[in-house]
Copies of this chain bind each other. A is one copy, B any other.
Amino acid sequence: MSSYGLHRVLHPAGVLPQQAWRLDADDTCGPDEVVLDVERLNLDAASYRQLREQHGVEGVRRAVLDIVAERGKVQNPVTGSGGMLLGTVRAVGPDSPLGLRVGDRVATLVSLTLTPLRVTDDLRRWDGASEQVPCTGTAVLFGRSIAAVLPDDLPDELALSVLDVCGAPALTDRVVRRRTAPSVLVLGGGGKSGSLSLAAARRAGAGRLTALVPTDAEADAVRAAGLADTVVVADARDPVAVADAVDRPADVTVVCVDVPGCEHGAILATADGGTIVFFSMATSFPTAALGAEGLAADVEMLIGNGYVPGHAAFALDLLRAEPAVRALFEHRQTQQA
């Protein structure tokens, strides 16, 4: 069980690091651990917003320092969420299975809520005005942690935004390859995980490929990128509109729309015997389960697991190989900046 970091749990005893109140953030590298020199914390957006509302821009630095001092990790006690971090490998234990080498620049793909963290610079370079936190300190990865080596050929911001959603294209690839030229529908095909999933589905041998997006502007962008055979516009939360928009139900439906209420539309748009992969964290388990039952829909419904072996390299390779996907990502970053 050491590979899950149980030996780093100080309180309460016997729980997993994510459930723990307090972790041991000592920077001595255990046999199957990796210790990182931290460069930057990326706080989860919901957590940063809550802390800023409670403490103000002036008080948010102190609030994060207090959390780390008390808990040995960044886990907002109100939202329960954390974020991720960038750093450089300082030490690798002899039994670490992660394949990292001293000097590698990495992003952690497991949450800060389970990552032992020490801060040594009082976060003095952070003005509190954004969730990007320049930081000097150390963090610990366990045997079962996940970290991606940052590529030399892509800007950090672009690589991080791909790594943030890298589970979606990897699982889409796996599900599509199980069938022979299945028709694939991606709800939210214009977004980050949606566009990568479209590209992954095409490469995995999808037959007819349909993207559903909420606006004409987004439809134009996806059409111009050539990521789908058909692009349709509908509100993914309206089951009847979704069913009307797609002329035939799909063999595989991938849900990448991060708003609640997309379960029934996905079910209606999927053929009997088909598979739905839900990647949105806004998915409701009972709504999906009872919806399929109420519609007598014989569909397989997968909870989109964010971890698939090799997912980070797979997503970065997709971005490199598909200029259209890269253009959509860069366009999105420009808009947000």
Given contacts A239-B16, A284-B285, contact A307 B296 (CB under 8 A): yes
Contacts of A306 in B (CB 8 A): 289-290, 292-293
Say which residue of B243, B268, B289 sits within 8 Å of A303 (CB atoms).
Answer: B289
Query: Is A110 an interface position by the 8 A CB rule?
Result: yes
Roughly how many angstroms separate A16 CA and B238 CA in the complex, as a whole number? 9
The complex places the Cα of A283 from the Cα of B288 at a distance, in Å, of 11
A308 cross-chain contacts in B, Cβ below 8 A: 298
A interface residue count range (under 10 / 10 to 19 / 20 to 34 / 35 or more):
35 or more
Is A304 engaged at the interface, CB distance under 8 Å to the other chain?
yes
8 Å CB contact of A264 from B16, B146, B240: B16
Q: Which residue of B lies closest to A307 (CB)?
A: B293
Set of chain B residues within 8 Å of A109, measured between Cβ atoms = 293
**Chain B positions within 8 Å of A100 at CB level:** none
Q: How far is the CA of A264 from the CA of B19 in the complex (A)?
A: 10
The answer to whether A103 has its CB under 8 Å from any CB of chain B is no
Contact B1 A296 (CB under 8 A): no
**A4 to B16 alpha-carbon distance, docked (Å):** 44
**Alpha-carbon gap, A294 to B241, bound state (A):** 36
What residue of chain B has the Cβ atom nearest to residue A144's Cβ? B296
Contact B239 A296 (CB under 8 A): no
Partner of A111, one of B14, B290, B292: B290
Contact indicator A305/B283 (Cβ below 8 Å) = no
A203 to B238, CA, bound (A): 41
Q: List 23 A-B contacts (CB under 8 A).
A: A4-B295, A14-B240, A16-B239, A18-B291, A110-B294, A110-B296, A111-B290, A113-B294, A114-B294, A167-B293, A278-B303, A281-B290, A283-B285, A284-B285, A289-B303, A289-B304, A297-B305, A298-B305, A298-B307, A299-B305, A300-B302, A300-B305, A303-B303
